Amino acid sequence: MDFSTRIDRIIKALENAYPVAECSLNYDKAYELLFAARLAAQCTDERVNMVTPVLFGKYPTLEALASADTQDIEKIIHSCGFFRSKARDIILASQMLINEFESRMPDNMEDLLRLPGVGRKTANLILGDIYKKPAVVVDTHCIRLSNRLGLVKSKDPAKIEIALREILPPEKSSDFCHRLVLHGRAVCEARSPKCGECSLYNLCPKLI
């Protein structure tokens, strides 16, 4: 089986296993996804989804977040870890969105990366989920599974993003990354992968 055929089959197998490819972070507004993603750094999405209703309930607008008391934000998000830097970034990014982008989320990588606390992973998430643009979100699941599946040979997120962009159909790249997360959580776990239950078992390099 050649490489391109195997990639196509991996994509189709993931589509069949996980028909709905969605981000597991809950949000209603674009900036809520941005800040939820910031909170998710070194924290589980489940925990973030417990915290954001409190945060966005008390501060329901960008203007409210931009003028929020830092210590109050820290208290609300404390359980997400790294709460001081995350609180600072949320407030500063809110101010920048208002002052420089007219309260609208940027739709390009360059401007997104200017926002405090935003790296390529979060920027790609915004581009893919909010603007439906081709995007490759490289998180821990993507790093682990793309290596296990033999799609890449690197642990460097930047190199993995470049490599996956070269081999994935652009219109499927964002959903593919979401499905890797779902598969990584449900089956291809870090320490004890459930190979016997894996829909990609016959496509795994160990059997080819």
Residues forming the active site = 121, 139
DSSP strand E in the chain: where?
none
- Helices then strands (H, E): number in the chain? 11, 0
Q: Is 174:135 a contact under the CB 8 Å cutoff?
A: yes
Measured between alpha carbons, how far is 35 from 29 in angstroms, rounded to an integer?
Answer: 10
Measured between alpha carbons, how far is 159 from 166 in angstroms, rounded to an integer?
Answer: 11
Measured between alpha carbons, how far is 118 from 126 in angstroms, rounded to an integer?
Answer: 10
